[in-house]
Structure 1
């Protein structure tokens, strides 16, 4: 029932660490999900330095989904949107042919505070890779949810558990937030060819195996195991239909390598607009890694 287990790997973003899950060497995507970062939990001290912020940076060919359990992040983008996201809400940004944005901790900078959440990327279908960039925000109350006897289910995107999110997606997918009290059991949802679960907090048992916080279990096609919480747990369910192989370099995703090269040149030359009201700094284009040195001849 479990096809693969993916561990999160710690990655320093310059001001705090995240747990990177996707892409992985043995599994780059689950459905259209091509990137999955577990942020925190981390406690920021008062007067957290601005270097902790994620400065303006570009994207193409994808949608980003920011979802928080705790804390606040201030989003600004080159389309002109300025939105503070709080726990249980959704910031869904579609990069399409190109967008830049920043993610800052303005609202917790004064007194400090905690941050815990997930940032995921969804690759756009080839026909939509060059769509116009855009952004939508949904408050927690706008997302469908169900609570009963130690189980809470919220559908962030797509359809699951008989509920459908108002978030418009470009391909069939689902993304759900489950909270289970210790001892509570629930089934995974069906209807998608690729599915995975990620334990964001606590510990659960699936198909006789224990999974702890920081682990993703990719389910076999058609498998319908139950999820049992060993302790109070947060589980994210995600997946959908494949959109085809994708190239990924830094913040760029595309079905075509030459399109990524164009995006690199556009960012370096300043042809991608910076976020409105946040255009005084940006993250420079990273240098390509040097080619491997030739082996010495014997």
Structure 2
């Protein structure tokens, strides 16, 4: 997904629970006919572990005649993670990858020194109503991996480890949690878990990772007596094990985080780097056509923003 010029998320209200370091209320923008809520980056919080970008796509219904068409655009210094709850997206990239991602699958595209990709509604679904719901996140690469060769990994939903514990269910998308480990490759300690809690169900969130956060997808979540509504991002204080308790309607959550990076990251448009000069170089390379093309999607591209 390309970094659109959305409005910066805003801090939430004060709260009593001292386990919460930051409460972020995402701001919504329209992209491709449906709402996208951006939770990261924000002025108050740039990263959680390696997560430097966190967008909630939809849920939305694209009418017949509408489609998702994110034209070819470049990335450096990061891995993009696409995870859908509903709908399908066709991915193409400059490595020659072409496939359709479906709900529960994981597309992990590592840009490294540079990659170009597009995301579009598959041809067979055009011309009919299409529901779209999911998450697009970026993982900043560690210092020694920022300029690696680009790569792509697709992991199907059927091989994801499953949580099934009396009122709690879900998938270990990336990393290790609750004694289970995902097969998705990582470059640093990373946590990404899709968790459903039935009404009033409590579930522990241990402090096994240096930095942790929770995005509430639906329902209401209670932590130490404080209640939090859907579409809020909670960043937890390091070292505190907490208990997650669902409200009366249950709760759908994404748990994420991991090890903090060793150095500062800069982000401009779709480029992430520890070096401002490297970002300037990437701008010039895209402006002058030095990036590779996307086979099968060569006719269009997203121009470099004039900002």
Mark yes or no: TM-score above 0.5: yes
Of 258, 261, 265, which residue of structure 1 is paired with 2:280? Answer: 261
State whether residues 36 and 58 of structure 2, in contact with CA within 8 Å, keep that contact through their aligned partners in structure 1.
yes
Of 20, 29, 35, which residue of structure 1 is paired with 2:47? Answer: 29
State whether residues 86 and 131 of structure 2, in contact with CA within 8 Å, keep that contact through their aligned partners in structure 1.
yes
Q: What is the deviation of 1:11?
A: 1.9
Matching of residue 201 in structure 1 with residue 218 in structure 2: yes
State whether residues 47 and 109 of structure 1, in contact with CA within 8 Å, keep that contact through their aligned partners in structure 2.
yes
Unaligned stretches of 5+ in structure 2?
A: 1-18
Matching of residue 88 in structure 1 with residue 104 in structure 2: yes
State whether residues 87 and 131 of structure 2, in contact with CA within 8 Å, keep that contact through their aligned partners in structure 1.
yes
Of 136, 139, 143, which residue of structure 2 is paired with 1:119? Answer: 136
Report the secondary structure of 2:284's partner residue: helix
1:186-218 CA distance string (max 9 Å, x none):
011331110000001121112222111110100
Matching residue of 2:255: 237
State whether residues 80 and 275 of structure 1, in contact with CA within 8 Å, keep that contact through their aligned partners in structure 2.
yes
Q: d(CA) in 2 for partners of 1:189 and 1:173?
A: 14
Number of aligned residue pairs: give it: 286
Once the two structures are superposed, the pairs formed by residues 98-109 of structure 1 within 5 Å of their partners are 98-106=114-122, 107-109=124-126
Q: d(CA) in 1 for partners of 2:175 and 2:135?
A: 17
Q: d(CA) in 2 for partners of 1:150 and 1:162?
A: 17
Tell which deviates more after alignment, 83-92 or 147-156: 147-156
1:118-167 CA distance string (max 9 Å, x none):
10000001110000101111110111112132211311111111111111
Q: d(CA) in 2 for partners of 1:121 and 1:278?
A: 23
Once the two structures are superposed, the pairs formed by residues 1-298 of structure 1 within 5 Å of their partners are 1-49=19-67, 52-106=68-122, 107-230=124-247, 231-243=249-261, 244-288=263-307
TM-score, length-normalised on structure 1?
0.93
State whether residues 33 and 62 of structure 2, in contact with CA within 8 Å, keep that contact through their aligned partners in structure 1.
no
State whether residues 2 and 207 of structure 1, in contact with CA within 8 Å, keep that contact through their aligned partners in structure 2.
no
State whether residues 74 and 116 of structure 2, in contact with CA within 8 Å, keep that contact through their aligned partners in structure 1.
yes
Matching residue of 1:292: none
1:199-239 CA distance string (max 9 Å, x none):
01121112222111110100111111111111222100000
Tell which deviates more after alignment, 223-232 or 277-286: 223-232
- Note the aligned Cα RMSD (angstroms): 1.1
Q: d(CA) in 2 for partners of 1:277 and 1:249?
A: 27
Q: d(CA) in 1 for partners of 2:58 and 2:255?
A: 19
Tell which deviates more after alignment, 271-280 or 260-269: 271-280
Report the secondary structure of 2:175's partner residue: strand
Q: What is the deviation of 1:16?
A: 2.4
Unaligned stretches of 5+ in structure 1?
A: 289-298
Q: d(CA) in 2 for partners of 1:193 and 1:257?
A: 26
State whether residues 74 and 82 of structure 1, in contact with CA within 8 Å, keep that contact through their aligned partners in structure 2.
yes
TM-score, length-normalised on structure 2?
0.91
Q: What is the deviation of 1:54?
A: 0.9
Shift in alpha-carbon separation, 1:205–1:108, aligned structure 2, 3 A: farther
Q: What is the deviation of 1:181?
A: 1.3
Shift in alpha-carbon separation, 1:206–1:108, aligned structure 2, 3 A: farther
Q: What is the deviation of 1:14?
A: 4.4
Q: d(CA) in 2 for partners of 1:4 and 1:164?
A: 28
